[in-house]
Chains A and B, each alone.
Chain A
Amino acid sequence: MTNIRLRDALLGILTSLVSGIALALLLWMLTSIFLYGIQPFLKEGLAVLIENPNLLPESVSPRLGGIGPMLVGSLIVVGLAVLIGFPIGFFTGLYLYEYEHSKIASACMRMLEILVEAPTVCYGVVVYFTLVLALRRLAAIFSSLCLVFILVPYLAIQVRDTLRSLPIELKETCYALGLSTWKTLMMLVRASLRAIVANSMISIARILGETGPLLITAAYYGYWGPWIFNPLAQAPVLTTFIYFAATSPLRKVQLLGWAACLVLTLISMGLFMAARLIGRRRY
């Protein structure tokens, strides 16, 4: 008996030790985001969310500026991607659920399953060679297109799986009552609305934090200008600005990068927590 106790204790100590290292490193990262990211806000207040970044060396101009253009750029790029990708992904999901056995559905399903785990930088390569080089311009809409490639497969598969997890009796009842296919589908969507909304929010958080393809198509930093009204102009986004700040030798630019990290973390964690609250089933 003591032998068992001893081994159990050893196992407990070992797992806590190893997990402790992992958790300590992860928490170290989270606290660094907070500690460094809060500094620009303490120095210059909420203007950091609005102003242009100030990339001049500290000796010339001590003000930090802000990440306003990048924040708006991210919202534009992600907004356009959701506008284009959400209807395609959602209705494809419905199609995959309802007409599972049709030829298009099985081909579509196979392709989307491959795409959902594909390295995202590949989308950047395809968009760069077919659109950017052909049209000789970098545009916000191309960045959005890269994100559409990520959004559509994810959303379609999620919607299909969510509908599939509903009891089959619900669908049978709808058909037995003589409802049309369309009305039945809407009925089923309404029944699983919470899960679908939650999954959509998680997918938005996912594309908001996406960097790989945007390093190829989006600007690394930018200033306020007419580009915010023109989807055919290049837009800077938060994630590429973080990349730019990490490679910058200037301490103040790095601090702005941390501020961008903090904003991105808060948005994506907020979306995630909200999704978790909404997605929790109520019985």
Chain B
Amino acid sequence: MDTNQYLDVFLDESREHLQSCNENLLVLEQNPHDLAIVNEIFRNAHTLKGMSATMGFEDLADLTHKMENVLDAIRNEKITVNSDILDVVFESADHLEAMIDDIANGGDGKRDVSATVAKLKRIENGEPINGASDTASQETATTESTATADSLEYDEFELTVIEQSHDQGFNTYEIAVQLREDCLLKAARVYMVFDILEKLGDVIKSSPTVEQLEEEQFDNDFYVALVTKDPADDVQKKLLKVSEVEKVTVKPIDYESLVRHEVAVTVEETKPVQSAGEKAAQKDVKPAAKKSAAKKAPAKKVAHASSKTIRVNIERLDILMNLFEELVIDRGRLQSIATELNHSELNETVERMSRVSGDLQNIILTMRMVPVETVFNRFPKMVRQLTRDLHKKVNLEIIGAETELDRTVIDELGDPLVHLIRNALDHGVESPEVRKAAGKPEEGNVVLRAYHSGNHVFIEIEDDGAGINREKVLEKAISKGIVTTEAAESMTDNQVNELILASGFSTADVISDISGRGVGLDVVKSTIESLGGNITIESTEGKGSLFSVQLPLTLSIISVMLVEIEKEIYAIPLSSIIETSIIRNSDILNAHNQKVIDFRGKVVPLVFLEEIFEVNRTEPVEDEFHSVVLVRKGEKMAGLVVDSFIGQQEIVLKSLGNYLTNVFAISGATILGNGEVALIIDCNSLIK
């Protein structure tokens, strides 16, 4: 089978399932007795196993299978969860991830996992994990040879079939068929065996799968589950008639043991729909720290079950967006034509069309929105690993993971956040000893928070660690030549905090491989700025720090204020506007050849856009009043003098193309309702 075309889908989905496994494992660590979570993990693992087997990645399927066995044992309460067992499961998950990465890079996904497999096997058998090594190797050997498992496992559907067959008086058998060592045409024999079985009844499952059997991908024996009315003896005799069949064992399926499986399944099925009250009660029993985890698990599962999705290439969405933008422009034209003609039916139609296209616009825009969860979900595992490496105790709390952001922003956001979290763990939260000495709880708290505010999304990383030491930062900055001693004296605390975002800055006394190479935070700053956002730091020494990242909701649509200068229309992003005002000629003051105004006690320089943009005046305008847009860049402000304000509008951001790059004070363009292009003013370059 040519599987190449499915490879991308396989990789995507495997990663998703693995991610989900990882998340749930973390939840499980918090609630070791919540079997619903185990079931969720089990299902992920099971799907992963199925997919990798179909794609022919045997090693991947095999390891997942072993992992699944352990999970199954946990699910059936044969073994209890503890952190040692989870470590091994995590280890297997890591191996699986490495395998998938290998496959993604064109490898075959093979990897030596015998040590982990041995550990899994021992857990499954209820033995101590770090047993003698000779038994380990032995066991690995035996597991390898019986990789196909000595008894079959059934999924829900198959269990139902078995149950119903029982009810209707059919017999269900598990048949082990062994072919002779020297059998030449194994596939042919398999075919004959199946031929007979299908005459007797229905084959509900086989291990290996029928496809694998047909491709001779098995040693000498295979297992089949059969539903039939014939007694076991007859089945056995008939099968033995096929030549080159060495041995046939037919045993009835142990219905009782399967029922237990089923109970587990039913329990888990009903859990997500528990009443709210019950959930609350359940929560109250649990210690406070685990509350969020307990709350999250059932909520998440409901989402999993209800959302059906398809994958769409983002390029197609971009094309859709472009087409829609053209539609919007034509809609504008149509509206103005309708107003001119003043034809009532035409007006009605145009109005209806406008409403529909308005709804359409919302849908297209939200289609590009992805919850930040897709970035956040990799952090819990990362934090778990980091805290172990750093010997710190940290609790990561995630708030607002459902906040949505444009896909293009999300894609770029991962790395900066990784840096910030690493920074919080490495430099922020102190070691347990230091914390204890400072009278804080040993376990540090890092909060990752996302929320909407206006046209922006804020992502904050807050820790209750040491905070930023002003003296230390300044000392370092001076020694690195980032600031001068004189300048350092007069800097505000905020300015000092911003210094740690400067390039070539690192205050960690010991340079670790986690952070502290001084290349992290300045990259964070530039990445976030390239996304049209900014980052601020608040910190109280000894209490902790708060890194706040402000991002635009979407990169393609922004709110602007349209202004007019002579006949030219320019757009000023609302995000940089403080307010607009009308000033008199007499309000303008002169200071150092620079016209300024007094704006609520602050001296604000005026920028005459007609001069900056060299607008051709047909006749000079002498006006007593001037329209001014007050804009800001950080702490600094400026007043942009324009002819008139047109109004606020949502516009689609367009670039000027590859030919016109670096146009002074212009950050892009947009297309107005009348089809003309308006330029977007880059306020940052107008403020010195």
The reply to whether chain A is a binding partner of chain B is: no
Interface on A for B, CB 8 Å cutoff?
none
